[in-house]
Amino acid sequence: MSVIQDTIARVRQLDVEQIEFQQAVTEVLETLEPTAERHPEFVKAGIYERIVEPERAVQFRVPWVDDKGRVHVNRGFRVQFNNAIGPFKGGLRFHPSVNMSIIKFLGFEQVFKNALTTLPMGGGKGGSDFDPKGKSDHEIMRFCQAFMSELYRHIGPETDVPAGDIGVGAREIGYLYGYYKKIRNEHTGVLTGKGLEYGGSLIRPEATGYGTVYFAAEMLATRGLDFKDKVVAVSGSGNVAQFAVEKATQMGARVITVCDSSASIVDEKGISPEKCCFIMDLKNNRRGRIKEYAQKYDCVCYEGENVWDVIRQQGIKVDIALPCATQNELNAENAAALVRNGCFCVAEGANMPSTPDAVRAFQESNILYGPGKAANAGGVATSGLEMSQNSLKMSWTREEVDKRLLIIMKSIHKACLESAEAYGKKGDYVVGANTAGFVKVARAMLAYGIV
C-alpha cells in the first residue's frame, strides 16, 4: 500500500467515529499521490502521517446559566491543527451538530486553505455544541464569557487567532473579545471579525461571500464567461450567503434562491439589493426565519426543504451554484440534476458542502468546480489582513482591503491552475488547491525536522 492509502487507513482505524474528518482526509490525501512520488523526502520525513494529526485538540466544559436561572453545560473545542507556516487560525462554530469530528475536519481543511491565501497562517478551528437560536442576548453573552474563560488559555495573537463561523458573528465576537480583554488585561489582535471600533477590518464581514464570487468570476473567465445575466442559486442566508448574493447581483447576475435550516425560497424575479438588505436585517438584527422573505415579497417558500432538493424537484434551471450553508448539503442526485439542467459553474462558499459523490458528478461532467478551500478562502485571507492592520496599529480603507482581497483571490485561482497543471491534472481545481496548499506546508514541516 502507498503511504497515502496507509495514512487514510490509519485515520479510519484510529478515528472510527469521526466520519466528517475521515471524509476530509480521504478527499485531500487521495489527490496527493503525485506529491508523494515527486517528493520522496516528504515520505521519508513522515509528513503525510504527521499532517493528519492535530498539534493539539482541546475539549472543555462550558457551564452557563440561562435567564430563568437554570444551569446548562455545553462542550467547547479548539483544535490547533498545524502551525508550520504561522499561528493557528480558523473560526469558531456554535451549532448543536458540533463535535470533535466536525471541528477536526474544519481544522484540517483550514491548514491547506490558509496556505493558499499567500499569508503566514497555520490552521485551526473551534466551537461548541451550543445552539444560539432562540437565546436572549444576555444568554449569548453569558455563554460567550463562559466559553472564553477556558479558551483564553490556549490562544494569543502570536499563537492562535480564532474568528467567526456558523453561529458566531459580530455579536458573539464582541462578547468573546470583551471577555478576553478583561481577563488578560490586554488589547491585542487575538480574534478577527472584530467590530470596526475595536480593531476590526473593513470588508471582513463581506470577505467570504465576495471572495467566493471573485473566485467564480476567475473560473468563468477561463471559458470566456462572466456573471452578467446569469441565473444563480445560493444556499444559506447567513454571513457568507448574504454577501455572495450582494456581489453576484452587483456583477449583473440574477440570484433566485436562499435558505435557512427551516425553509428555502425561490424568487424568480431575483434578489435585488433592497431585498438583500431585508435578508441582512432579518438575519443579523431581528434573527428571524427566511419564510418572512416569501411573505414580504410574495414568492414561493418550501418549508423543511433544502435549496438543492427544491431545484431538482422543481426542475429549476440555474447557470451558477454557490452553496453557502453547511457541509454535505449538496448530494450526488442534486449535483446530477444541476448539471442536467445546464449549470456550468459551482463555487463553494461553505466548507465541504458537496458530498464526495456530488464532487465526482461535477468533475466528470467537466463543469467548473471550485472547492471551498480555494473558493471561500477570502474570509480567512481578510482575517489575515485584519491581523496585519492590528500589528501595524493602522486601518486600511474599504477600497484598499477590497483590492487586496481581489488580488488574493486571483492569486489563489492562479496557484490552483498552475499546481493542477504541474501535477498533470490541468483545470482540476481540487487537485490544484490540495497540492498547492499541501506542498507549502510540507516544505515548512520538512525544514523544522521531526517536531
Q: Is residue 132 a contact point for ligand NDP (CB under 6 A)?
A: no
Stretch that binds ligand NDP, among 13-21, 154-162, 259-267, 392-400 (CB under 6 A): 259-267
Which listed residue (376, 389, 390, 419) binds ligand NDP by CB under 6 A? 376
CB of residue 239 to ligand NDP, shortest distance in Å: 4
Backbone φ, ψ for residue 351 (5° rounding): -90, 125
Q: How far apart are CA 383 and CA 191, in angstroms?
A: 9
* Using rule CB under 6 A, residue 260 touches ligand NDP: yes
At its nearest, how many Å lie between ligand NDP and the CB of residue 132? Answer: 9
Least distance CB 230 / ligand NDP (angstroms): 22
The one among 325, 367, 417, 441 contacting ligand NDP by CB under 6 A: 325
Cell of 292: 418572512
193: exposed, middle or buried (Cβ count in 10 Å: 0-12, 13-18, 19+): buried
Inter-axis angle of helices 19-29 and 429-447, nearest 10? 90
Nearer to ligand NDP among residue 31 and residue 326 (C-beta): 326
The reply to whether 165 sits near ligand NDP by the rule CB under 6 A is: yes
Question: Position of cell 504527521?
Answer: 50
Query: Please, what is the minimum distance in Å from the beta carbon of residue 54 to ligand NDP?
Result: 18
Residue 350, C-beta contacts closer than 8 angstroms, at least 6 positions apart: 235, 236, 240, 323, 324, 325, 326, 327, 329, 372, 376
Nearer residue to ligand NDP within complex by CB, 4 or 199: 199
Residues 38-67 that bind ligand NDP (CB under 6 A): none
| Residues with catalytic roles | 125
Residue 351 interacts with ligand NDP (CB under 6 A): yes or no: yes
Q: At 318, which amino acid appears?
A: V
52, three cell numbers = 493528519
What whole-number distance in Å separates Cα of residue 335 and Cα of residue 311?
10
Q: Is 323 in the site for ligand NDP (CB under 6 A)?
A: no
For residue 117, state whether it binds ligand NDP (rule: CB under 6 A). Answer: no
Helix residue spans in 52-136 (DSSP H): 100-116
Distance from the first to the final alpha carbon of the chain: 26
Provide the minimum distance between the beta carbon of 214 and ligand NDP in the complex, in angstroms, as a whole number. Answer: 14
Near ligand NDP by CB under 6 A: residue from 83, 114, 117, 208: 208
Q: Closest approach of Cβ 259 to ligand NDP, in Å?
A: 5
Least separation in angstroms between residue 91's CB and ligand NDP is: 6
Residue 167 as a binder of ligand NDP (CB under 6 A): the answer is yes
Which distant-in-sequence residues (6+ apart) come within 8 Å of 2 by Cβ?
Answer: 33, 36
Contacts of residue 285, defined as CB under 8 A and 6 or more positions apart, other chains included, come to: none
User: Does 20 interact with ligand NDP (rule: CB under 6 A)?
Assistant: no
Our finding on whether 306 is near ligand NDP (CB under 6 A) is yes
Sheet containing strand 345-347, edge to edge, reads 300-303, 263-266, 254-259, 231-234, 320-322, 345-347, 368-370
List b or e across 116-132, with b for residues whose CB sees 16 or more CB atoms inside 10 angstroms.
bbbbbbbbbbbbbbbeb
Residue 236 as a binder of ligand NDP (CB under 6 A): the answer is yes
Q: Which amino acid is at 271?
A: I
Of the candidate residues 127, 162, 164, 371, the single one contacting ligand NDP (CB under 6 A): 164
Name which of 264 and 419 has its Cβ closer to ligand NDP. Answer: 264
State the residue number with the nearest CB to ligand NDP.
238
Query: For residues 41, 45, 49 and 52, what is the CA-based torsion angle, rounded to 10 degrees?
Result: -90
Residues in the interface with ligand NDP (CB under 6 A) total 26
Choose the binding region for ligand NDP from 2-10, 145-153, 291-299, 321-329 (rule: CB under 6 A).
321-329
> Is residue 127 close enough to count as binding ligand NDP by CB under 6 A?
no
Residue 19: DSSP 8-state: H
Question: Which of 7, 239, 249, 334 is in the footprint of ligand NDP by CB under 6 A?
Answer: 239
Distance, in Å, from the CA atom of 40 to the CA atom of 442, rounded to the nearest integer, reads 12
Question: Given the rule CB under 6 A, which of 3-11, 49-57, 324-332, 406-414 is the region that contacts ligand NDP?
Answer: 324-332
Question: Closest approach of Cβ 121 to ligand NDP, in Å?
Answer: 13
**Residues at the site binding ligand NDP, with contacts judged by CB under 6 A:** 164-167, 169, 208, 236-241, 259-262, 306, 324-326, 329, 349-351, 376, 379
